[in-house]
Structure 1
Amino acid sequence: MALSTLTARVDKEDKVRFDAFCSSVGLTSSSAINMYVKAVLRENRIPFEIKQEDPFYNPNNQAYVLKSIQELKAGKGTAHELIEDDDE
């Protein structure tokens, strides 16, 4: 079997951490990447879930919600009834 070289650019710190992880489990970085390639070809898909997290739970939004709750508890804000839109 002829071998070929695959080159990928990654963040320097990510490479250091990846190399350390691979070493800790008895692999080289090259063997770990080869395992990934073989899994993709065997399963004909990316062998893990790729998804976008719900934006509601991002740290900035959560901080805003918590700040708003604190303001309401401190008496800043106005309580009102929920107004529902019948058009939906």
Structure 2
Amino acid sequence: MAAKSANLYARIEPDVKEQAESILSALGIPASNAINMFYKQIILNRGLPFEVKIPTARPADVSELSEAELNAELEKGYADMTAGRAKPARQAFADIRKDYGI
């Protein structure tokens, strides 16, 4: 293992740092180790280890919807279900676990 002797200085938003370090702490991973893992993934992937793009559609934030908008979203979901454009929850969760390796 190579000696850790290089320093990295980065300025990030304080709340982003706090939230990320809280999660890393719960996982038992020091921030410096997480950054090192990220850099190693950049090397292995020869680029960022995730897709960077602007999403074409944002998921609905139910806390920002009016009652009528929420009902319209629920109707869309019901229409998808009755038209067979849905999958069982068990399958959806299995797909999520597979896609994210969890």
Aligned residue in 1 for 2:54? 52
C-alpha offsets along residues 30-72 of structure 1, whole Å, 9 cap, x if unaligned? 1001000011112211000111112xx358xxx8xx7xxxxxx
Aligned residue in 2 for 1:16? 18
How far residue 26 of structure 1 moved from its aligned partner, in angstroms, is 1.1
For residues 17 and 24 of structure 1, what CA distance do their matches in structure 2 show? 11
**Matched position secondary structure for 2:15:** helix
Aligned pairs (5 A) from 1:1-88: 1-2=2-3, 3-54=5-56, 57=57
For residues 16 and 45 of structure 1, what CA distance do their matches in structure 2 show? 26
TM-score normalised by the chain length of structure 2:
0.51
- Name which structure has the greater RCO, CA cutoff 8 Å, separation 6+: 1
Residue ranges of structure 1 left out of the alignment (5+ in a row): 67-88
Larger radius of gyration: 1
For residues 45 and 53 of structure 2, what CA distance do their matches in structure 1 show? 18
- Percent identical: 29
Amino acid paired to 1:31: N
Residue ranges of structure 2 left out of the alignment (5+ in a row): 70-102
Task: Figure out how many residues of one structure are paired with residues of the other and give that number.
Answer: 59
TM-score normalised by the chain length of structure 1:
0.59
Runs of 4 or more above 4 Å deviation: none
Q: Which has the higher helix share?
A: 2
